[in-house]
Structure 1
Amino acid sequence: MNSNSSTIKKILINGVVFFIVLGLTIYVVFRHISIGEIVTSIRLVKFRYILGGLLAMAVFATGEGLNIGRPLNAFGDDISVFQAVKYAIVGFFFSSVTPSSSGGQPMQLYFMHGDGVPVSHGTLALLFELMSFEIIATIYAVTGYVAQRRLLVETMGRGRFILLIGILVSVLIVIFLFMAIFSKRAISVICAFGVGIVRRFSKEKADVLEVKADLMIQEYRSSAVYFKENKGLLVKSLVTTAIQLIAMFSVPYFVYMGFGLDSYSAFQIISLQSILYVVVAFLPLPGAVGVSEGAFIIAFRLMYPKKLLGPAMVLTRCLNFYICVIITGIAVCCFMYRLMKKKDK
């Protein structure tokens, strides 16, 4: 019970941080851009493209739900599509309001437990989803960086090497996941090395880290057997992830078309968005608020006339983040109410 209270307290604190950062972002954005200008510009956007962007995010959420529900059903848990999408919605909201998306998976497990899903099943299903997501997101980012290097030179100059560092981190995470699942010796050596470094500074923290590392290794090793026996399930998850990420990364292209622009292709815009997503995803800010807006302004500045760049950024972020946070937040309140009511009964 104390653990749950502590988790909820952390989420509330992170929520406050989220809104503070959001407020600062709004201040910085609107300090240089007139609200009237933005409203006037957005009115020029055809509604069907705005609707297209929202539908793209719906595809994204549905795809994540399918990737969570598929392994749970394979484990024998009777999970409906609605329940699976509910877990995706919960994950999106709490990942958006906590640094480095740290609150998403714990809250997904909490709601799964409320539906009678064993924690071990939920953990493995989320591992399936995480692995698929990291692999496809990294492939898109690497492909985008290689294919759009000339465009990146024009828009970011030497700043593009910062993007390369972010992509490299993503590649290392994918390698770590593979080793954790498929190589017992490699992950043991890496964890022992990490614990050894921490021990030089604090024996107490090193002991805690060692216990956590042992638990993680055991968890991944038990997962390895299932991964090897269900390769078809992993392939389906990868295909679904490929579709859902294309949908999410296409939101800036819907906005671009909505303003009646056509100088750049869908591939160029989706490639840039895939790179930006991977780079800002691991920053310790709730929803990468502020950084995402600034990165958009820099990366897409050649694609828009100066007077449309600000409105395009605001509309894009509203479609792929802010509106989604509001909608999923309302949905989470409804889910929480139903869960509390169920527990009371």
Structure 2
Amino acid sequence: MNSKSKQWLSLFFMACLMLITSYFIFKDQSLSNLIEIVKNVNPFYIILGLCMMFLFVGCEAMNTFSILRALGQKVSYLKCLGFAFVGFYFSSITPSSSGGQPAQMFYMTKANINLSYSSLNLLIITVIYQIVMMLYGGVMFLLNHEFILTNAHGIKYFLMFSVTINVLLTVAILLAMFSKKFIYQLIHHVTKWLAALHLLKDVNRTREQLELLVQEYTKGAEYIKTQPLLMSKILLTTTIQLTASYLVPYFVYKAFYLDEYTLLQILSLQSLVSLAVSSIPLPGAVGASENAFMSTFKLFFASNLIIPAMLLCRGISFYAFLVISGMISMIVHFTLTKEQKPSSKPMISI
């Protein structure tokens, strides 16, 4: 199956999930009442929520820009912004966000960015994102643990599962980045397994190619370890990025002219909801995110407001940006295809 077929299949699967989710959400609801409630919200806060999502994508672009420039790659912030939107789109339409990084690497290669550097960049961004997301949730729990324990019981099993997966993933990525022995053993065992399944013919050649890539890749990783200021900048930018996305429910809350609960309380629960659904293997966590929101945020919104609030939150943070990122991904595709030049052999000189 080619990449276009996989993309259409992912979109079809996500559309089915959306239809099923919509059925259970709207089956006992009056559409006219929902529309009337949404029409009366404060548009200023809805615009602020959308701005937070642009900031979210912009922060990832800034991290990519900082890392690639530190590695000596000539790339503009505008192109990095395009890569970030590509990542958002393909992560949104594939299970467990598995399509985002391969798509970004594909378009970075089209932009003549060294493959080993683009993969290193994405791994650094991923591991720091995972670490910051877990630390953010941990800090919020310490600051507001009684409130969280009282009101987050609806997602506790998803949260336990997600934390376990994220810890394992982070450890695996760190080993991959900074342990040559681990990588070479992994290459050996995986290629041997693929050959045993008759999925790989020339084992030795494949191993040589992968080990050559690892040599370049680990040189880049060694260089990154000597850049504590760069890593600090990425940690700070990622914290701002996550805060921006966690602020969306707060602005929706304010859009309904509500003020009983504090910013800290809403941020606390949203950081844990995001962590809880982050490892669910569904495109865009469709269905899981909606249910997690309604089970957790019913504290903040009255029964007649919880579904309109969920629709606005998911509309801002996911569905609207799915459309926006899809259109920008098309622009990135046509732009890079048009300006692509034959690239020389990948070289590393750090």
Tell me the TM-score normalised to structure 2 length: 0.85
1:273 is aligned, of 270, 276, 281, to 270
Instruction: Report sequence identity in percent.
Output: 32
**Counterpart Cα distance in 1 of 2:337 and 2:176:** 36
State the distance in 2 between where 1:344 and 1:182 align.
33
Partner SS for 1:51: helix
Query: Residues 67-86 of structure 1 correspond to what in structure 2 (within 5 A)?
Result: 67-86=63-82
CA offsets 1:47-104 (integer angstroms, 9 cap, x no match): 1100100011111111000101111112222211111110000000000001111111
- The alpha carbon displacement at 1:15 in A equals 1.6
Tell me which amino acid in the other structure corresponds to 1:77. Q
The counterpart of 2:292, out of the listed 290, 295, 301, is 295
1:17, CA displacement in angstroms?
A: 0.9
SS in structure 1 of the partner of residue 18 of structure 2 = helix
Instruction: Give CA deviations for 1:223-271 in whole Å, capped at 9, x if unaligned.
Output: 4312212222111111111111101111000001111112221112112
Change (3 A) 1:150 1:227: same
* Paired position in structure 2 for 1:176: 172
Contact 1:251–1:319, Cα closer than 8 Å, also in 2: yes
Q: Aligned pair in 2 of structure 1 residues 150, 218: CA closer, same or farther (>3 Å)?
A: farther
| CA displacement at 1:188 relative to structure 2 | 7.1
Structure 1 residue aligned with 2:233 = 236
Identify the residue that residue 247 of structure 2 maps to in structure 1: 250
Partner of 2:60: 64
User: Contact conserved, 2:155 with 2:296, CA < 8 A, in 1?
Assistant: no
Query: How far does residue 205 in structure 1 lie from its aligned partner after superposition?
Result: 8.7
Q: Is the 8 Å Cα contact of residues 116 and 217 (structure 2) preserved in structure 1?
A: no
Cα distance in structure 1, aligned partners of 2:113 and 2:184: 30
Q: CA RMSD in A?
A: 3.1
Deviates more, 1:330-339 or 1:99-108: 330-339
The amino acid across from 1:163 in the alignment is L
Amino acid corresponding to residue 197 of structure 2 in structure 1: E
Cα distance between partner residues in 2 of 1:184 and 1:333 = 37
What residue identity is the alignment partner of 1:243?
Answer: I
The answer as to whether partners of 1:280 and 1:288 remain within 8 angstroms in 2 is yes
- Give the corresponding residue for 2:312: 315
2: CA distance between counterparts of 1:169 and 1:36?
Answer: 41
* Aligned counterparts, 1:57-206, within 5 A: 57-157=53-153, 159-184=155-180, 191=186, 204=197
Counterpart contact for 1:250–1:270, Cα < 8 Å: yes
Decide whether the 8 Å contact of 1:180 with 1:217 is kept in 2. Answer: no
Counterpart position of 1:18: 14
More helix by share: 1
Q: CA deviation at 1:132?
A: 1.9
CA distance in 2, matches of 1:35, 1:218: 59
1:141·1:167 contact (CA, 8 Å) conserved in 2?
Answer: no
Q: Which residue of 1 aligns with 2:27?
A: 31
Give the Å deviation of 1:276.
1.5
Q: CA deviation at 1:146?
A: 4.0
Distance 2:317 2:60 in 1: 15
Gaps of 5+ in 1: none
Cα distance in 2 for residues equivalent to 1:71 and 1:156:
36
Residue 337 in structure 1 maps to residue 330 in structure 2: no
What SS does the aligned partner of 2:75 have? coil
Alpha-carbon separation, structure 2, partners of 1:281 and 1:205: 34
Contact map agreement 1:155 1:301 (CA 8 A) in 2: no
* SS of residue in 1 equivalent to 2:173: helix
State the Cα distance separating 1:217 from its structure 2 match. 6.6
Q: Which amino acid aligns with 2:159?
A: L
Which structure 2 segments of 5+ residues have no match? Answer: 343-350
Q: Tell me if the contact between 1:153 and 1:160 (Cα under 8 Å) persists in the aligned partners.
A: no
TM-score (norm 1): 0.87
The alpha carbon displacement at 1:301 in A equals 1.1
Find the residue that maps to 1:53 and give its secondary structure. Answer: helix
Q: Is the 2:293–2:310 contact (alpha carbons within 8 Å) kept by the matching residues of 1?
A: yes
Deviates more, 1:216-225 or 1:6-15: 216-225
Determine if contact 1:155/1:298 at 8 Å carries over to the other structure: no
